[in-house]
């Protein structure tokens, strides 16, 4: 009996050891992928969800998601990747594509094949002509208005402006003053892309054939004069209310119409449930404007150049999984209030005034990636004119000087690839 | 006797070894973390250097030529010097006056000392964020107070003439406590016997201040001034948090310019050229300070 018990005990022990060993082996085989993302599950639920969905069908892959603060993320990420550290997979951004591209692996897809199903899949190419990041969603600037303010001023949907002249009229009815002070701006334009878009709307490209800035062109002067008119003559705006972020003044109920961006729609809704707002397309300088605004995009996650062959294989499969999954692609498009890059999903997004506005201006949105210094300098120039009362010529001269070291050839590249390029100066 | 001699020799040997070890460690530490990077930055200032694109190409003096032709550099330098001059003066004068006041009171001395020192130990990021709110022209505390006196529409950080002074005020408020503590320590060293002797000789308070207290405190004064000048030439955090160099470029200082060039535009060569210039400016100012110290036999 003792012998039997001893044998049974040994068998049991061996089974336990073998089971434990197999579990350990299985977990050793699981490929762990570190992912960096500059936001939480509330902000980017659709991204977190795509990892979960992939893990469900690929049990041997485990994503370790590391959330980084937005501000640090874009400084830290390129330097980490360059030094051979950092994550295997990371969220990208068009504004930082120039510094992320050299540190990311190309995807093994041919642009010509992708073009059958996707709009503009070859915007971010690597050295071998293959895509590094593929657009997931197209979106961009829209105008938001506070519906309650609108109704209080006796305005209806019929009054939605289509030109800047019309907007000025509407904004005058919406502006509220306390003595001399504008306490609620009829229109907050204080983001840098107001100036960029308004230059484009006049048919002026933002760089010349030599890659030099055209911010000091006649179109640039016209925009700054218009901004002065909004601030000083019509007094429908106060740059300092939004101070570069009109969405902030909108959330504080200090502006009635803002130059916003599609991604803000969900953010407004989740931040303040009582904020009653809608969107409409960006007004135009003239009816024949060749561009209405820039097309921004959200991209597939970047694959670090430092990944192993096995990790690369997994991450390519993951990217394909995302691009081919209808629900994930639609969730991402809806999450940013944009239009899916997949041709068969265009028009399939949720019904919202923001997505409708994007859809209506889509054919005149120029896919564009600006170098960060161009954005900074445009904003500075607007501030110098609107806040500091610097003469327009001086502000533009400063801008040209500050951009003299900048490599603006990427702007040239995107402008030349624009569908209506022949209408741009 | 012989044993004692051997022991002394071994003690000396181990002491020597310790000195060498500590020296090697110190030299290695400074070489790796200070001297090495300084040389690298100096060499890099002559190059088109972008670590992200892995480029490092010598371009001779081009970075410096461009820098000296860039109005933003001169504006940033001017703003930096303006900032240093006002904040150092404010910190030293105010710190000295508060220390004198605190030194003369008998009750609640420790409590008052702690109170003045409290802002010094607060993180600058937190302080800058709170003051940014205080300065808000629409919902800020200062605007509310001014409105009660009929003063409206003061834009503080959004006003190109007020933005830098507003940041200076915040910096003085935060850092004055440090000077107070140092001056208080210095005041304790002023010999009471001399003060009493001067009183017997009929010296009034002002005469005591100018002829006894200030000369005795001169080393402390110079220490506070030099350390303040060096640290304020490197002002960055409050500018980054409160104005990001704006409105326009009205609060641009050299360190903010270096940060922007290096970590936003990845022009490390150009940023290194600005760093070398800042280094030279600080070196000149420090040299002048040392000359003054030497002249004053400090």
pLDDT tens digits, one per residue of A145-189: 999 999 999 999 999 999 999 999 999 999 999 888 899 999 999
Within a domain: A384? yes
Look up the domain containing A125 and give its range: 31-138+296-355
Domain end, chosen from A314, A330, A355, is at A355
Whole-number Å distance between alpha carbons of A48 and A251: 26
Whole-number Å distance between alpha carbons of A195 and A230: 13
Same domain membership, residue A268 and residue A129: no
Q: Do A78 and B266 touch (CB under 8 A)?
A: yes
Whether A23 has a pLDDT exceeding 50, the answer reads no
- The residue ranking higher by pLDDT, A244 or A339, is A339
**pTM, to two decimals:** 0.82
- As for how many domains chain A has, the answer is 2
Residue B256's closest CA among B34, B72, B69, B56? Answer: B72
The dihedral region occupied by B60, where left means phi > 0, alpha psi between -120 and 50, and beta the remainder, is left
Looking at chain A, which residue has its C-alpha nearest residue B261?
A373
Contact list in A for residue B247 (CB cut-off 8 A) is 240, 383-384, 387-388
Closest Cβ opposite residue B248 in set A240, A243, A390: A390
Of A93-102, A191-200, B90-99, the one with minimum mean pLDDT is A93-102
Same domain membership, residue A183 and residue A169: yes
Q: Do B249 and A372 touch (CB under 8 A)?
A: no
Whether A26 has a pLDDT exceeding 50, the answer reads no
Helices A218-228 + A392-402 axis angle, to 10: 130
How many Å separate Cα A127 from the centre of its chain? Answer: 24
CA atoms within 13 A on the CB side of A37: 23
Residue A98's closest CA among A403, A409, A371, A408? Answer: A371
Whether A21 has a pLDDT exceeding 60, the answer reads no
Give the pLDDT mean for B11-31. Answer: 90
Tokens matching residue B73 = 């550099």
**Residue B112 — pLDDT band, cuts 50, 70, 90?**
confident
B160-186 per-residue burial string, b: 16 or more CB within 10 A, e: under 16: bebbbebbbbbbbebbbbbbbbbbbeb
The one-character DSSP state at A159 is: G
Task: State the burial class of residue A10 (Cβ atoms within 10 Å of its Cβ: 0-12, 13-18, 19+).
Answer: exposed
Whole-number Å distance between alpha carbons of A282 and B71: 36
- Phi, psi (deg, nearest 5) at residue A122: -105, 35
**Residue A353 — pLDDT band, cuts 50, 70, 90?**
very high
Whether B298 has a pLDDT exceeding 50, the answer reads no
Query: B56: part of which helix (H) or strand (E)?
Result: strand B55-58
Q: Do B54 and A82 touch (CB under 8 A)?
A: yes
Looking at chain A, which residue has its C-alpha nearest residue B266?
A99
Within a domain: A10? no
* Domain B70-295: homologous superfamily in CATH: MetI-like (1.10.3720.10)
- The residue ranking higher by pLDDT, A169 or B287, is A169
Tokens 């410096």, residue located: B64
CA distances A265 to A46, A261, B68, Å, are: 15, 8, 45
Q: Do A380 and B246 touch (CB under 8 A)?
A: yes
Same domain membership, residue A389 and residue A247: yes
Residue A181's closest CA among B146, B132, B244, B166? Answer: B146
Q: Do A405 and B270 touch (CB under 8 A)?
A: yes
pLDDT tens digits, one per residue of B178-227: 999 999 999 988 888 888 888 888 888 888 888 889 888 988 998 899 89
Within a domain: A15? no
Q: Do A373 and B66 touch (CB under 8 A)?
A: no
Q: Confirm or reject contact between B66 and chain A (CB < 8 A).
A: yes
Within a domain: A23? no
pLDDT tens digits, one per residue of A52-88: 999 999 999 999 999 988 878 988 999 899 888 899 9
> For the complex shown, is ipTM > 0.85?
no
pLDDT tens digits, one per residue of A278-305: 999 999 999 899 999 999 999 999 999 9
Give the pLDDT mean for B27-40. Answer: 91
So what's the pLDDT on residue A11? 56
Domain end, chosen from A355, A377, A405, is at A355
Whether A15 has a pLDDT exceeding 60, the answer reads no
Question: Could you tell me if B120 and B178 are in contact, meaning their C-beta atoms sit under 8 angstroms apart?
Answer: yes
Within a domain: A2? no
**Residue B295 — pLDDT band, cuts 50, 70, 90?**
low
Whether A338 has a pLDDT exceeding 70, the answer reads yes
- CATH code, domain carrying A195: 3.40.190.10
pLDDT tens digits, one per residue of A201-218: 999 999 998 889 999 999
Tokens 């010094």, residue located: B120
Helices B71-104 + B214-232 axis angle, to 10: 150
**Residue B290 — pLDDT band, cuts 50, 70, 90?**
confident
Whole-number Å distance between alpha carbons of A290 and A419: 10
Q: Confirm or reject contact between B70 and chain A (CB < 8 A).
A: yes
Within a domain: A341? yes
**Residue A24 — pLDDT band, cuts 50, 70, 90?**
very low
Tokens matching residue A396 = 């533009």
Closest Cβ opposite residue A383 in set B72, B139, B246: B246
Within a domain: A11? no
């Amino acid at each position: 009996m003792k012998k039997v018990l001893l044998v049974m005990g040994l068998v049991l022990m061996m089974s336990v050891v073998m089971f434990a060993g197999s579990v350990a082996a299985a977990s050793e085989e699981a490929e762990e992928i570190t992912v960096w993302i500059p936001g939480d599950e509330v902000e980017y639920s659709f991204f977190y969800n795509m990892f979960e969905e992939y893990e469900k069908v690929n049990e041997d892959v485990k994503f370790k998601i590391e959330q980084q603060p937005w501000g640090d993320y874009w400084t830290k990420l390129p330097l980490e990747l360059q030094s051979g550290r950092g994550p295997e997979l990371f969220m990208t951004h068009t504004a930082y594509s120039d510094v992320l591209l050299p540190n990311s692996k190309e995807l093994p897809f041919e642009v010509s094949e992708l073009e059958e199903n996707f709009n503009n899949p070859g915007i971010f190419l690597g050295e071998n002509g293959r895509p590094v990041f593929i657009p997931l969603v197209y979106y961009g600037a829209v105008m938001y208005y506070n519906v309650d303010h609108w109704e209080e001023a006796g305005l209806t949907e019929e009054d939605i402006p289509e030109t800047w002249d019309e907007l000025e009229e509407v904004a005058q009815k919406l502006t509220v003053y306390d003595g001399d002070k504008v306490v609620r701006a009829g229109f907050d334009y204080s983001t840098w892309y107001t100036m960029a878009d308004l230059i484009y709307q006049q048919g002026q490209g933002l760089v010349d054939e030599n890659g030099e800035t055209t911010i000091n062109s006649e179109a640039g002067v016209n925009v700054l004069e218009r901004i002065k008119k909004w601030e000083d003559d019509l007094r429908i705006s106060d740059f300092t209310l939004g101070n570069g972020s009109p969405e902030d003044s909108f959330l504080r109920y200090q502006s009635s119409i803002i130059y916003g961006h599609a991604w803000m729609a969900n953010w407004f809704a989740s931040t303040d449930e009582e904020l009653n707002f809608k969107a409409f397309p960006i007004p135009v300088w003239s009816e024949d404007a060749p561009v209405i605004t820039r097309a921004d995009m959200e991209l597939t996650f970047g694959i670090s150049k430092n990944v192993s062959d096995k990790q690369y294989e997994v991450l390519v499969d993951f990217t394909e999984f995302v691009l081919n999954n209808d629900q994930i692609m639609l969730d991402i498009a809806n999450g940013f209030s944009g239009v899916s890059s997949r041709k068969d999903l265009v028009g399939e997004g949720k019904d919202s005034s923001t997505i409708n506005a994007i859809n209506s201006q889509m054919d005149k949105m120029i896919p564009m990636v600006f170098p960060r210094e161009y954005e900074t300098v445009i904003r500075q120039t607007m501030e110098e004119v609107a806040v500091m009362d610097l003469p327009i010529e001086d502000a533009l001269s400063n801008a040209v000087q500050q951009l003299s070291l900048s490599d603006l050839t990427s702007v040239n590249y995107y402008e030349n690839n624009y569908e209506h390029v022949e209408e741009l100066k | 006797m012989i044993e004692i001699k051997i022991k002394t020799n071994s003690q000396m040997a181990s002491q020597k070894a310790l000195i060498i070890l500590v020296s090697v460690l110190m030299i290695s530490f400074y070489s790796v973390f200070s001297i090495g990077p300084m040389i690298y930055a100096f060499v890099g200032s002559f190059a088109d250097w972008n670590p992200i694109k892995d480029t490092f190409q010598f371009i001779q003096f081009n970075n410096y030529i461009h820098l000296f032709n860039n109005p933003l550099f001169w504006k940033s330098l001017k703003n930096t010097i303006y900032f240093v001059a006002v904040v150092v003066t404010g910190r030293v004068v105010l710190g000295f006056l508060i220390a004198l006041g605190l030194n003369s009171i008998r009750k609640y001395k420790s409590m008052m000392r702690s109170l003045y020192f409290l802002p010094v130990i607060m993180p600058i990021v937190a302080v800058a964020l709170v003051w940014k709110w205080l300065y808000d022209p629409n919902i800020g505390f200062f605007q509310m107070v001014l409105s009660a006196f009929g003063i409206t529409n003061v834009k503080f950080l959004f006003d190109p003439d007020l933005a830098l002074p507003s940041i200076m005020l915040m910096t003085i408020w935060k850092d004055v406590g440090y000077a107070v503590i140092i001056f208080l320590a210095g005041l304790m060293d002023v010999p009471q016997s001399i003060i009493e002797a001067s009183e017997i000789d009929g010296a009034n308070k002002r005469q005591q201040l100018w002829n006894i207290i200030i000369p005795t405190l001169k080393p402390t004064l110079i220490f506070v001034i030099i350390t303040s000048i060096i640290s304020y030439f490197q002002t960055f955090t409050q500018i980054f948090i409160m104005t990001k160099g704006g409105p326009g470029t009205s609060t641009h200082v050299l360190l903010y310019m270096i940060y922007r060039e290096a970590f936003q535009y990845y022009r490390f060569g150009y940023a290194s050229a600005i760093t070398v210039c800042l280094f030279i400016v600080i070196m000149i100012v420090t040299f002048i300070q040392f000359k003054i110290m030497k002249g004053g036999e400090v």
